Structure 1
Amino acid sequence: MAKIFAGNLISSSEAVRGGRDFMFKDKQIQVSRREFLRDSAWAAAAAAFAAAFQERVEAQQKKSQPTNLAFQHNEPATHSTQRLQPVNIGFIGTGTQGQTLLQRLVRIPGVRVVGVCDIYPPHLSRGLQMAGAQAMSYRDYRRLLERKDIDAVIIATPLHLHAPMTIDALQAGKHVFCEKTMAYSIEDARRMVQVSRETGKHLQIGHQRHYSPIYAHAREMMVEQEVIGKLVHVRAWWHRNNSWRRPVRDKRYEELLNWRLYRKYSQGLMAELASHQIDVINWFTGTTPISVVGMGGIDYWQDGRDVWDNVEVIYEYPNGVKVVYTSILSNQYDGYAEQFMGDKGTLLLTNEKDGFLFKEPMAEELGWEEHAKKAAGKGGTTGLVLDVTATKKKGTGAVIGGRKMEAGYEMKDAYMLELESFVNDVVRNGQKPLCDAEVGYKAAVAVLTANKAIEEGRKITFTPDMFQV
């Protein structure tokens, strides 16, 4: 069961030497490294490959200074990093998502990525190149956490490793940014919240839409300006047309690189995609779901995976609001979006970058229609393109973290903004994250319970205590 990812918890060489056991929540059993090696034919080869590759990485570091993306970013000339207190970051997990974060992190003034950890040598090498010459390499994340000079840690590893790594980092005295979904199990997510409280260290979860100007503006329009009237229904979807599978030349690394396709490591489409959108619905409505029912199947990509390639879920929220969610991997026509439907209009957020308002025929004038760009909608309707500077009432403006959005915000994506907030607001100033452990926990409970409803073929009713820690 743990044949791949014990190696992501420890180095391959540590696995050979033996040591403490780790809990894997999908079967609620402990697997020792001796058992892990006995059951894993690839482990010895992985260790040898990792050692050889690491030697090449270290030799390259000594020979030349790796590229630091911080120097490639066109920061304003007046933006001096000398006036800022340096923030030392340890980075754990430099796969696809980790690299997405890391290339933005190094552009934040005053940030020094001083340690990079990954068990897969190509990912480790790329992470070191992105981090810069000051970064040390690690294949055992615990060695990185021992460093007293590290202020905070970013964790972008496979889902089932989020909890043990986050808990260890918090207990080591580090603030933590952990990618979504928060944890593989509700029990793990609950423990993460508890340890954050016990240690007094902040835990930010990577639901980046909380930091997006378009989402902040859309929420203001819906909640504060009430432009869609009474919310009656929500639709959300994330549709792709690909296998979600990475090509793997060496089959020993199949589960390591394609962990999302296997239930012992992954919670599938609901955790990897839907969690973002269910989090937005929780945020916009200010509530959590009452019940959930759903269906799923492996109906198209029958290639050995055991994670569903399509899901359809219906949540019931307070006040009779139904949320219909779908995710598929066999058609990309609709892309991904959230659609909030009220008795006065519909708010549509698409592809995480565009927003539109479509008024119902009987709705009153809003006062700024003439200044807004127009967009064609279904059935011959015309919508208004959401714009922070135009589609708002006089004197209002979208706020992120208690701060009105400044000029230039629209030029940055939400990944960049969430990392800037983590560094400047959370680590430097000790502020509570916008998407903190409690927010991430509620999204995790909603999507993990949906998976349970699909698996068991029944409707599950949430109790209020399920969302409380």
Structure 2
Amino acid sequence: MFKDKHILVSRREFLRDSAWAAAAAAFAAALQERLEAQQKKPATPQTKPAAQKPQQSAPQPARNLPPVNIGFIGTGTQGQTLLQRLVRIPGVRVVAVCDIYPPHLSRGLRMAGPQAKGYEDYRQLLERKDIDAVIIATPLSLHAPMTIDALQAGKHVFCEKTMAYSVEDARRMVQVSRETGKHLQIGHQRHYSPIYAHAREMMTEQEVIGKLVHVRAWWHRNNSWRRPVPDKKFEELLNWRLYRKYSQGLMAELASHQIDVVNWFTGATPVSVMGMGGIDYWKDGREVWDNVEVIYEYPDGVKVVYTSILSNQYDGYAEQFMGDKGTLLLTNEKDGFLFKEPTAEELGWEAHAKKTTGKGGSTGLVLDVTATKKKGTGAVIGGQKMAAGYELKDAYVLELESFVNDVVRNGQKPLCDAEVGFKTAVAVLMANKAIEEGTKVTFTPDMFQV
């Protein structure tokens, strides 16, 4: 059951062929004991620290909403980020949690609430007929087999980005979503961000930057990207991002968010890509680059320069869209600014906008999604008018609310659906190919089609 002829990866094969085998075998018995104990009795105060109380049980379903039963697969760092928000959505019941690492599974069960049952094997979770949808936040190499199994089991799926480890796997995910009639949403949360939706409207509809000519985007950190490991046998399990058999590195884990934004804002896909990368600072046994520098070309000669590094955090992370009339700057996923060119005409709302100071003392206009409601702008995401207070929610909350209410409850196509996620996956995975081979990769239209 749950086998796709194109991607045959059983849990047994995965554990046997990876370095996780020894670790999984070591804690299998302990896992079963933990699960049985946790499901027979409530957690004690000692196992529920006061600082974690807001995350330990889900709210009761809203009165007029039928419950949506969710199965959650993968409760590591990113999974917990999603889960703590998911359980606060009215009407959501997380009824099943799956992870092969006992501390993560125990943590996920506490966050999900007493109604949740724990699993080591995700296929057992998928066999449950009462589950409406699943959320997958596992290592990249597992996205495709788990998503395909879930779709074929009749579940709608929310899968974290990047969509898949390979272009072929991502393409198959799109195909299976179409074949089963089940929706697949990919976790590029900026599609649900008020500030990004507002900035895109200003750029594409109000044309505040004029003709787009260049884009810069970057994600700069000063840390090893390494997670603490209690025992060496868990190294690849917990630090999978650093190893090529599981990870596609910085381009997949960080750049995918920002290249997705470029695709979205331009309404296009790249024409070519070239780049370089290396393990030049963190010489600690990792297999993925600790820095990447990439140049994409988009239609009409638009160049996109992208960098991601792990040895300096001064610039943080941002996307900068440069036109002949101005520059839109989106920083830290929450703030937006418009810097006009000296020759640009005055905007009707400019006098009322908050101001900021940019490079060289230039004056910038602060983007405010709440300041434009009377004009009917800034309060719409994906063609849908947002309810009061939406601007106070982060994009993770908004993407999960949309998945539960729009996709699962109402059967609507996700804003960031399988096709959108596929195009982003192609763009970043081919950048890795260009870096690896030291060549310029030219895209053809069929590469972005399924």
Q: TM-score, normalised by structure 1?
A: 0.89
Shift of 1:45: 5.4
| Residue 246, structure 1, aligned to residue 219, structure 2 | no
Q: Deviations over 1:161-213 (max 9, x none)?
A: 00000000000000000000000000000000000000000000000000000
Partner of 1:408: 389
Work out whether residues 184 and 418 of structure 2, in 8 Å CA contact, stay in contact via their aligned partners in 1. yes
Q: Do the aligned partners of residues 45 and 453 (structure 1) sit closer, same or farther apart at CA in structure 2, a change above 3 Å counting?
A: closer
Is 1:222 the counterpart of 2:200 in the alignment?
Answer: no
Residue deviations 1:231-274 (CA, integer Å, cap 9, x gap):
00000000000000011131111001000001111000000000
Matched, 1:208 2:189: yes
2 CA distance for matches of 1:331 and 1:275?
Answer: 20
Seen in structure 2, the aligned counterparts of structure 1 residues 385 and 60 have a Cα distance that, compared at 3 Å, is: same
SS of the residue corresponding to residue 289 of structure 1 reads coil
CA contact (8 A) 1:69 1:131 kept: no
| Deviation by residue 1:87-109 (Cα, 9 ceiling, x = unmatched) | 00000000000000000000000
CA distance in 2, matches of 1:383, 1:406: 29
Q: Distance in 2 between matches of 1:31 and 1:390?
A: 52
In the alignment, what sits opposite 1:354? 335
Q: Structure 2 vs 1, CA of residues 392 and 137 (structure 1 numbering), >3 Å: closer, same or farther?
A: closer
Aligned mates of 2:364, 2:345 — CA distance in 1 = 14
Q: Say if 1:372 and 1:391, in contact at 8 Å, map to a contact too.
A: no
> Could you tell me which of 285, 291, 299 is aligned with 1:310?
291
2: distance between equivalents of 1:160 and 1:264? 7
Q: What's the CA shift for 1:402?
A: 1.5
CA drift at 1:372: 1.2
CA deviation string 1:306-347 (max 9, x = no partner)? 100000000000011000000000000000000000000000
Judge conservation of contact 2:167–2:425 (CA < 8 Å) in 1. Answer: yes
Residue 61 of structure 1 pairs with residue 39 of structure 2: yes
Tell me the distance in 2 between the aligned counterparts of 1:219 and 1:49.
48
| Pairwise CA distance, 1:46 | 3.1
Bigger drift between 398-407 and 194-203 goes to 398-407
Cα distance between partner residues in 1 of 2:124 and 2:236: 25
Is the Cα contact below 8 Å between 1:70 and 1:108 reproduced in 2? Answer: no
Q: Which residue of 2 aligns with 1:49?
A: 27
Residue identity matched to 1:436 = D
Corresponding residue number in structure 2 for 1:386: 367
Give RMSD over aligned pairs: 2.5
Judge which range, 197-206 or 364-373, deviates more. 364-373
> What is aligned with 1:343?
324
CA contact (8 A) 2:134 2:156 kept: yes
Structure 2 letter corresponding to 1:46: A
d(CA) in 2 for partners of 1:259, 1:302: 16
SS where residue 370 of structure 2 aligns?
coil
Q: 1:439 to 1:64 in 2, by over 3 A?
A: same
The alignment partner of 1:162 has SS state of helix
**CA positional deviation for 1:373:** 1.0
- How many angstroms apart in 1 are the aligned matches of 2:103 and 2:55? 21
Whether the 8 Å contact between 1:340 and 1:348 is mirrored in structure 2 is yes
**CA contact under 8 A between 1:50 and 1:120: conserved in structure 2?**
no
Equivalent of 2:257 in 276, 285, 289: 276
Deviation, structure 1 residue 65: 5.2
Distance 1:393 1:293, change over 3 A: farther
Checking the alignment, whether the CA contact within 8 Å between 2:183 and 2:407 is kept in structure 1 is: yes
- 1:458 partner letter: T
What amino acid does structure 1 have at the position aligned with 2:421?
G
**Matching residue within 315, 320, 327 for 1:334:** 315
Where does structure 1 lack aligned partners over 5 or more consecutive residues?
1-9, 11-18, 25-29
Instruction: Give the drift of 1:443.
Output: 0.2
1:70 deviates by 6.9
Q: Which moved more, 1:393-402 or 1:254-263?
A: 393-402
After TM superposition, give the deviation of residue 407 of structure 1 in Å: 2.0
1:368, 1:392 within 8 Å by CA — same for their partners in 2? Answer: no
Is structure 2 residue 92 aligned with structure 1 residue 111?
yes
* Paired residues, number: 442
Q: Normalising by structure 2, report the TM-score.
A: 0.93
Distance 1:428 1:303, change over 3 A: same
Q: Distance in 1 between matches of 2:278 and 2:86?
A: 37
